[in-house]
Amino acid sequence: MNELTLEQEFQAKIDADLKIEPKDWMPDAYRKTLIRQISQHAHSEIVGMLPEGNWISRAPSLRRKVALLAKVQDEGGHGLYLYSATETLGIDREELIEDLHSGKAKYSSIFNYPSLNWADIGAIGWLVDGAAIMNQVALCRTSYGPYARAMVRICKEESFHQRQGYEILLSLCRGTEVQKRMAQDAINRWWWPSLMMFGPPDTDSPNSEQSMKWRIKRQSNDELRQRFIDMTVPQADFLGLVVPDPQLKWNEERGHYDFGPIDWEEFRNVLKGNGQCNRQRMKDRIKAHEEGAWVREAAMAYAEKRSRRQEQVSSVA
């Protein structure tokens, strides 16, 4: 079959909402786009462990510590599902990790902001996980089977994370004046970077058009951002917190909130490596990777030993 026919059949399958599986024929550019997006997503999960990991030893109670520990562990797990999904596209995990550590690969801009106090852990859960879920629920219907299936499980865990964050803020908002001020300060700092998580505006998003055609992305950056704002503002009202956007206003005609301009210059700067924590995050990530070398070696040695034993057993049988 020639390339054109293969491509037409591939697109017809996508248009019929069927999943593409690892052994199916796919255009090179589709494979590359998936490797780019899924690996960036995997990197975001494991770099995202760092700002919260900082607070495990300082959580204000045992209950909070256990919940945060479980959340950070889940994020490590999400990274693993996503690296595995990327490997089904024929790329080696080590190569992806090297690209992350060398600064070649991107990860979500949001994780280059500092987590300064306990209220930030609430804000990360509520806003950052909230934004992640909004994006990832759409990805449960993405066209590539292994990615879509990983997303279903990830979304279930993320919704627990979001509630955990909201509950931290609820406790602070029902606490003392100082605690409420802490919560407000955290929202002031995390609101705008959370909106940036959805990526540049549709008019300035080079990958969107093709990714939507291939149904890798099911909704555009701006659509998801608007949906997130519409969902989150009433939650902020319930907490008694003010969203730090003087232009935020319900628009009856549109049935959506209007909001003020996003500082895309700040976003581009963070992507260039000049955010508040880019250097620190990479330093910590590389250190964690190096210190974990013995665990990977031990796991590989165990896996090899097990498969040798299984071979011996089956040759005797």
Is residue 176 helix, strand or coil? coil
Asked if 84 interacts with ligand FAQ (CB under 6 A), we say no
Among 35, 123, 128, 137, binds ligand FAQ (CB under 6 A): 128
Among 211, 226, 232, 278, binds ligand FAQ (CB under 6 A): 211
Instruction: In whole angstroms, give the CA distance from residue 158 to residue 196.
Output: 19
Asked if 207 interacts with ligand FAQ (CB under 6 A), we say yes
Task: Compute, in degrees rounded to 10, the torsion defined by CA atoms 271, 272, 277, 282.
Answer: 100
Please state the closest distance from residue 1 (CB atom) to ligand FAQ, in A.
Answer: 29
Please state the closest distance from residue 142 (CB atom) to ligand FAQ, in A.
Answer: 9
DSSP 237-253: HHHTPPPS-TT-EEETT
86 vs 184 by CB, closer to ligand FAQ: 86
Written as one letter, the residue type at 164 is Q
135 vs 184 by CB, closer to ligand FAQ: 135
Q: Please, which of residues 172-191 interact with ligand FAQ by CB under 6 A?
A: none
Asked if 271 interacts with ligand FAQ (CB under 6 A), we say yes
Asked if 45 interacts with ligand FAQ (CB under 6 A), we say yes
Block residue for tokens 């608007």: 226
How many residues bind ligand FAQ (CB under 6 A)? The answer is 29
Among 109, 184, 194, 278, binds ligand FAQ (CB under 6 A): 109
Using H for helix, E for strand and C for coil, what is the string for 24-73? Answer: CCCCHHHHHHHHHHHHHHHHHHHHHHHHHHCCHHHCCCHHHHHHHHHHHH
Asked if 245 interacts with ligand FAQ (CB under 6 A), we say no
Instruction: In whole angstroms, give the CA distance from residue 250 to residue 240.
Output: 17
Please state the closest distance from residue 314 (CB atom) to ligand FAQ, in A.
Answer: 41
Helices (H), the chain: 3-15, 28-53, 62-87, 93-102, 118-123, 129-139, 145-173, 177-196, 208-213, 221-239, 264-269, 278-291, 293-316
217 vs 285 by CB, closer to ligand FAQ: 217
On the CB side of 159, how many CA atoms lie within 13 Å of its CA?
8
* Pair 34, 139: CB distance under 8 Å: no
Asked if 106 interacts with ligand FAQ (CB under 6 A), we say yes
36 vs 149 by CB, closer to ligand FAQ: 36
**Of 27, 227, 1, 2, nearest in space to 143 by CA:** 27
Asked if 193 interacts with ligand FAQ (CB under 6 A), we say no
Asked if 37 interacts with ligand FAQ (CB under 6 A), we say yes
Tokens of 110: 């949001």
59 vs 124 by CB, closer to ligand FAQ: 124
186 vs 197 by CB, closer to ligand FAQ: 197
Among 86, 135, 162, 219, binds ligand FAQ (CB under 6 A): 135
Among 68, 119, 124, 241, binds ligand FAQ (CB under 6 A): 124
Interacting residues with ligand FAQ (CB under 6 A): 36-37, 40-41, 44-45, 48, 75, 106, 108-109, 124, 128-129, 132, 135, 196-200, 205-208, 211, 217, 221, 271
